[in-house]
Amino acid sequence: MKRMAAVAAFLLLISGIGLSQNSSYRVVFDLTSRDSLDQKAVMRLVREITTANPEAELEVVMYGKGYELVLPEKTTVPMELNNALKNPKVSFRVCRMALKNNKVDPSALANGVQTVPDGVYEIISKQHEGWGYIKVAH
Report, in angstroms and rounded to the nearest whole number, the Rg of the chain calculated over CA atoms: 19
Residue of higher predicted confidence among 4 and 58? 58
Render pLDDT for 108-125 as a digit per residue (tens, 0 to 9): 999 999 999 999 999 999
Render pLDDT for 42-97 as a digit per residue (tens, 0 to 9): 999 999 999 999 999 999 999 999 999 999 999 999 999 999 999 999 999 999 99
Cβ–Cβ < 8 Å for 61, 90: no
Report the predicted TM-score, pTM, of the whole model to 2 decimal places.
Answer: 0.83
24-135 to CATH, choices 3.65.10.10, 3.40.1260.10, 3.40.190.290, 3.40.50.2300: 3.40.1260.10
CA distance 57 to 89: 5
The residue length of the chain stands at: 138
